[in-house]
Amino acid sequence: MKHEHKIKARSGAVAALLVGALALGGGATASAGVTGCSASGGKQEAGAVIGALLGGVVGKQVGGRHATGETVAGAALGAAAGSAIGCEAQKSRAKNAGTYSRNGYRLSNDVSAARYDRIGETFVAEGAVNLRAVPTTNSGRVGRLQPGQRFQALAQVRGSDWILVGDGGVGVGYVRGDFVRPAKARYAAY
């Protein structure tokens, strides 16, 4: 009886590992799923494996004597939950990587800080325009806005017409104010 219990426990753990491995292998080519997180890193895969193991154990406990199906289902659900949690951890890390805080704003490491007046509105690019690292036309290019592209206007550089462009609350570059306009602005038809 004791030997039979050990065999069942091992088979439950093997089933959980198999589900986790299949989930990882199958997701590698997919655009979503266990390894399809939009942020790079290994937290999603680790979360899937840990979730599969824990889910398999819980499934085994719920299933009782003949728990193969419950073990596999628990492992699959655990892998999915662990994957989602791991992906969120990766996104959080990626969002904060390569940034610094200055004057109440989070800025990309590619962008120099300035003195700002808060805007906090959605703006739209009137044409294709470069984003600059420093609010001057001769500074390095750090990105580009396309015609009609909406973006977060975090702030205006004091004493100038330069706008701090934001992405997810992080300042990613500067654009001259004469190339953009508030998205809410309406122009009279002639």
| The listed CATH number (1.10.150.110, 2.30.30.40, 2.40.50.140, 3.10.129.10) that belongs to domain 100-182 | 2.30.30.40
> Among 165, 137, 171, 134, which Cα is nearest to 152's?
165
pLDDT tens series, the chain, 190 aa = 555 555 455 555 544 444 444 444 444 333 345 556 666 667 778 878 888 888 888 878 887 777 788 888 888 888 888 888 877 776 665 555 688 988 889 999 999 999 999 999 999 999 999 999 999 999 999 999 999 999 999 999 999 999 999 999 999 999 999 999 999 865 544 4
Query: Nearest Cα to 149, choosing from 130, 135, 162?
Result: 130
Q: Where in the chain is the domain with CATH 2.30.30.40?
A: 100-182
- pTM (predicted TM-score): 0.50
